[in-house]
Amino acid sequence: MDWITAYQVVVNKQKDKADGSWQKHLAARDPRSCPSLSLSGYAAQYQDAWYGDISITLENSRLVMRFSKSPLLVGDLEHWQHDTFLVKWRERSLNGDAFVTFALDPDGRVREARMRAASDMTDFSFDFQDLLLKPTS
């Protein structure tokens, strides 16, 4: 059996599936939507039971996310729609961009944020879907 060819077939199928999933995200996106808060309203220190301290700071009019226990996880947040942003990791070899969705309390403050991998090709070990970011400041 030609294992290299067999592997390439599997990879190509996964890539096609991921491309289709991304097209669905793009089709569902409302590019006219705006965040509920000013960008500074999302900037805070957050805590997650697995990943520890996470900071979201406002730098040069952009939100930047940093995971203290994972120095490679530094990314720029781009508004996606409503209160969801797409974090694009500066270390592009990670291939793990993710959606970050903020939930607000009745007073318009961030109550929590959750993450979800943006691509089906993202390594499952990031466990983004299991994170619960709670503001500490």
Among 3-17, 66-80, 110-124, the minimum mean pLDDT is found in 3-17
DSSP 3-state of 37: coil
For every residue of 50-97, DSSP letters joined together read TTEEEEEEEETTEEEEEETT-TT-EEEEEEEETTEEEEEESSGGG---
Q: How many percent of the chain have pLDDT more than 90?
A: 61
List pLDDT tens digits, range 111-128. 999 999 887 767 777 888
Rounded to 5 degrees, φ, ψ at 41 are -70, -20
pTM of the model: 0.82
Distance in angstroms (rounded) separating the CA atoms of residues 128 and 53: 15
Domains and CATH numbers, the chain: 3-135 (2.40.128.600)
**Is 64's pLDDT higher than 70?**
yes
Q: How many percent of the chain have pLDDT more than 70?
A: 82
The predicted pLDDT at position 31 comes to 82
